[in-house]
Amino acid sequence: MTSFSSVQDLLDHQGHIARVKGIRVGQFTNARRPTGCTAVLCAEGAVGGVDVRGSAPGTRETDLLHPSNLVQEVHGIMLAGGSAWGLDAATGAVRWLEEQGAGLNIGVGRIPLVPAAVLFDVMLGDMRIRPDATAGFVACQSSHTNRPAEGSVGAGAGAVVGKIFGHERAMKGGIGTASFTVDGVTVGAIIACNALGDVFNPFNGELMAGARSADGQQLRSTRDALLAGEEPRPILAGSNTTIGVVATDAIITKAQAHRLAVVAHDGLARSINPVHTMSDGDSLFALGTGQSSKSLGMMTLSTLAAEAVAVATARAILLAQSVQIAGQATLPSYQDFNAKN
Strand-pair category, 171-172 with 116-118: unpaired
What is the three-state SS of 310-335? HHHHHHHHHCCCCECCCCCCCECCHH
Angle of helix 89-99 relative to helix 133-141, nearest 10 degrees?
50
CA 121 to centroid of chain Cα atoms: 13
Rounded to the nearest 10 degrees, how much is the dihedral formed by the CA atoms of 176, 212, 202, 3? Answer: 80
C-beta separation of 262 from 177 below 8 A: no
At residue 325, the pLDDT reads 75
pTM: 0.95
Q: Flag residues of the chain having pLDDT under 50.
A: none
Residue 219: strand pairing partners: 212
**Nearest 5°: CA angle at 270, between 265 and 271?**
95
List the end-to-end C-alpha distance of the chain, in Å, as a whole number: 32
pLDDT of res. 1: 55
Grouping H, G, I as helix, E, B as strand and the rest as coil, residue 88 is helix
SS3 content of the chain, % helix, strand, coil (to 5): 30, 25, 45
**Whole-angstrom Cα Rg for the chain:** 18
Query: In 3D, which of 84, 73, 173, 153 has the Cα closest to residue 122?
Result: 84
Q: Is the peptide bond prior to 274 cis by the omega test (within 30 degrees of 0)?
A: yes
Domains of the chain are: 7-22+44-78+156-340 (3.60.70.12)
Given this model, what pLDDT does residue 208 score?
96
CA distances from 273 to 86, 222, 266, 333 (A): 26, 8, 12, 18
**pLDDT for position 316:** 98
Triad 30, 34, 35: Cα angle to 5° = 60
113's CB contacts (< 8 A; 6+ apart) are: 61, 64, 71, 73, 74, 75, 76, 103, 104
Residue 236 confidence (pLDDT): 66
Positive or negative, the CA dihedral 33, 37, 38, 39 is negative
Q: What pLDDT digit, counting tens, does each position of 223-240 carry?
A: 999 999 988 877 766 578
Per the rule left: phi > 0, alpha: psi between -120 and 50, beta: everything else, 179 is: beta
- Determine if residue 297 is left, alpha or beta; phi over 0 gives left, psi from -120 to 50 gives alpha, anything else beta: beta
Q: What is the pLDDT of residue 253?
A: 97
Task: Give the Cα separation of 126 and 16 in Å (integer).
Answer: 32
Please tell me the predicted confidence (pLDDT) of residue 56: 87
